[in-house]
Amino acid sequence: MPTPSEPMPLFPPGFLWGAAASAFQTEGAAATDGKGLSGWDAFAAAGRIKGGADAARGTGFHDRYREDVALLAGLGADVFRFSVSWPRVIPGGSGLVNAPGLDFYDRLVDELCARGIRPAPTLYHWDTPLPLDEAGGWLRRDTAERFAEYAAAVAGRLADRVPLWMTLNEPAEVTLLGYALGEHAPGRRLLFDALPAAHHQLLAHGLAAQALRAAGASRVGIAVSHSPVWTAGDGEDDRFAAGLYDTLTNHLFSDPLLTGAYPDEDIAALMPGPVAEDLAVIAQPLDFYGVNYYHPMLVGAPAGEAGGALDSFAGVGMPEGLPFGLRDIETAEHTDFGWPVVPDGLREVLTGLRDRYGKRLPPVIVTENGCSYEGTDDQRRIAFLDSHLRALHRAAAEGVDVRGYFTWSLTDNIEWAQGAAQRFGLVHIDYETLARTPKASYAWYRDMIAAQKRREPR
């Protein structure tokens, strides 16, 4: 990708610029404040994180949050999207609130507000309290009900200062990687029997949205991953496979949230509980719809006209017997994670959501977009961000109501099962000393934000 040279087009007045992070990947301080263990702590203890990365230490955010908030202020960021650790607030997943754990987020919110940065917490970024995980996790309806209680506890303390709330992050990835393929915590390999985990997460979102609003939360949304699904080959089997994958990874989540129905009657019949009643709860009105975008997916039949499917993608193994197969997008450049770089895929996702949902689609915030590259002179990251922001601007010019962009991520972090092997940050983390070093992309993003704000109409 070439280094950007043309000025970035001007985004609408009031557009929100930010960066994102999550609790398990950054906080560390696993044994402080009375924090309980999560399913990801157990997954790490079982040796499932590459290179034995110390997730219990993370990036030291718990102890160094003021330093990271200062980095956000240096960027000129309007918003910081972070996540609240459920086991830090309610260690057992239910029952008494751990006051010292909630106090940490109270201090973090105060620090952000003092710097003029809007706090935007996500209540669930994959760290299910271990007792709930061991009892079945998102396969059980009870987990959704406990999540609503937790949401009420957090909002009861923070709602007076928090203008943006997200209930869940990427329920599709939790379902697929955690419950269907076993590559993430809790490590279940249930394939299509993982579908109840999707339903209960969606139900948790609806119940939590109700609890947040009852506690005085102003704007409530969710962060959902979306990828364009391209068909590999022209055969009927390829088209069927790509359509099924699109349904399972995209519409299975956005349709209930935005229409109150599952995209397919056969899928709805596989969901547990009083599905019709649950869907009415799931489809709570949203103040914004968060989109996480990284790359498209090229999908066909397991052995279709485009050749055989990949055995693995970005470190995730693909079991035999799936009714679809993933292919590499060989014409694209790739990040260090092996992900194809397709900036216009972001425009394709956003215009596709607009076309599918029309007026039912709330204003959109890109809640995650970023890339993994080594080095602090990270010109490829700069080119990635520049090209994706131009694609976002094209989507806005085509009528998508886009209100903000949060890059993933502020600092390097523990990239889930990949550990410290992938670096997504604008700021480099030395995992020995935890020293922070802003990369070239940090300066580029800072200067781009400043230029946008200088050009805003007064």
- Check which CATH number belongs to the domain holding 395 and give it: 3.20.20.80
Confidence of residue 304 (pLDDT cuts 50, 70, 90): low
Residue 272 belongs to some domain of the structure:
yes
Is 112 part of a structural domain of the chain? yes
Nearest to 207 by CA among 163, 129, 142: 142
Q: Find, among 299, 293, 247, the residue nearest to 270 by Cα.
A: 247
Please provide the average confidence, as pLDDT, over all residues in the chain. 96
Give, rounded to a whole angstrom, the gap between the first and last alpha carbons of the chain.
35
232 near 298, Cβ under 8 Å?
yes
* 14 has a pLDDT exceeding 90: yes
**Residue 92 belongs to some domain of the structure:** yes
Amino acid residing at 440: A
Helix (H, G, I), strand (E, B) or coil at 10: coil
6, part of any domain: no
Q: Which residues are catalytic?
A: 170, 368
Residues spanned by the domain of 378: 16-455
Q: How confident is the model at residue 2 (pLDDT cuts 50, 70, 90)?
A: low
**Residue-wise over 141-163: b if at least 16 C-beta within 10 A, else e?**
bebbebbbbbbbbbbbbbbeebe
Going from the C-alpha of 213 to that of each of 82, 102, 167, 208, the distances in angstroms are 20, 19, 12, 9
Q: Does 305 have pLDDT greater than 70?
A: no
Count of the separate structural domains present in the chain: 1
Assess if residue 7 is contained within a domain.
Answer: no
pLDDT top residue among 366 and 304: 366
pLDDT of residue 311: 87
Question: In whole angstroms, what is the distance from residue 235 CA to residue 367 CA?
Answer: 35
